[in-house]
Amino acid sequence: MNTNQPSTQKSIFPFGGILLIVAGLFLLVQQFVEIDLSGGAFLAALGIFFILWGATHHKAGLLIPGGILSGLSLGVFLTEETNGMISSHLEGGVIVLCLAAGFAFITLLTQLFTDEKGWWGLILGGILVLVGTGIIIIESPGSGTLKTLVESAFRALNYLWPLVLVGLGVKVILDKRNQTAE
């Protein structure tokens, strides 16, 4: 037996099956016993599960929902479980900012556990930081130049982002056409 060659044997730990069993048992037990579990804790548990599954299998596709669910769980926790420390008018912006952190977390996770480099998570996270900050500015009481500027920017984006989608769609079609022509 040659011990210098890397093992090609795949891990066969059934994470997906275990997730379904645990979720099913939890939901069944909850029919008989009231379990006070916040949405943030549930999302965090799912996020951790996907992160462990993705890390052990070195699959970015599993780390992605882990990062997103982790960010959302932080946002839900901060808005539900902090006893009013975050004003209700700020909650939407806080959740979006935490989601941005989840997308940034995807970049870190893919760097650590896979050969892929999920830099796109930082791009989406950056966009979400701008949106979340804008929501906080708009929803804050009072008025001012910054609030007026952000509101104007959001109104302009209502017309701009659909055009970006159309442009991306045209690019995808042209790229596909060029590939089939070659």
Question: Quick one: tokens of 88?
Answer: 């209700």
Taking the C-alpha atoms of residue 158 and residue 163, their distance in angstroms, rounded to an integer, is 10
pLDDT lower than 50: segments of the chain: 1-9
Per-residue pLDDT at 85:
83
Could you tell me if residue 14 is left (phi over 0), alpha (psi between -120 and 50 degrees) or otherwise beta? beta
Q: How many angstroms from the chain centroid is the CA of residue 22?
A: 22
Judge whether 66 and 124 are in contact, CB under 8 Å: no
Indicate the domain borders of the chain: 34-141, 145-174
Query: In this predicted structure, what is the pLDDT of residue 10?
Result: 57
Cα separation of 167 and 161, whole Å? 10
Cβ atoms of residues 75 and 97 within 8 Å: yes
d(CA 154, CA 134): 8
What gap in Å lies between CA 157 and CA 162, rounded to an integer? 8
For residue 59, the number of C-alpha atoms closer than 13 Å in the C-beta half-sphere is: 14
Q: How many CB atoms lie within 10 A of CB 89?
A: 13
Please report the DSSP string for 123-172 in residue order.
HHHHHHHHHHHHHHHHHSSS--HHHHHHHHHHHHHHHHHHHHHHHHHHHH
Dist CA 76 CA 6 (whole Å): 43
Sign of the dihedral defined by the CA atoms of residues 104, 107, 108, 110, in that order = positive
